[in-house]
Amino acid sequence: MSTEKTEKKVMGPASYFPSIEKKYGRPIAEWQQLIADSPLTRHMELVAWLKSEYGLGHGHANALVAHHLAAGA
């Protein structure tokens, strides 16, 4: 019998969240609200907007948008 702990690993877009918060200094909830408040609706439009307006890298912007859209927003 193993005494090793089993931790649930975060996968998918949410796996980027700790890095996003650390690098850009905003909580994920704030990013999600910015996306929700945007008049844009298409995935790549939102990604390009986050990159140009907030200086996010492509992967981070993509993760935020993918998570937001998958939540049914």
* pLDDT tens track, the chain, 73 positions: 455 555 677 788 889 999 999 999 999 999 999 999 999 999 999 999 999 999 999 999 999 999 999 988 6
Crossing angle for the helix pair 28-37 and 17-24, nearest 10 degrees? 90
CA 73 to chain centroid, in Å, comes to: 13
d(CA 12, CA 68): 12
The reported pTM is 0.83
Tokens of 19: 């890095």
Q: Give Cα separations from 4 to 1, 7 (angstroms).
A: 9, 9
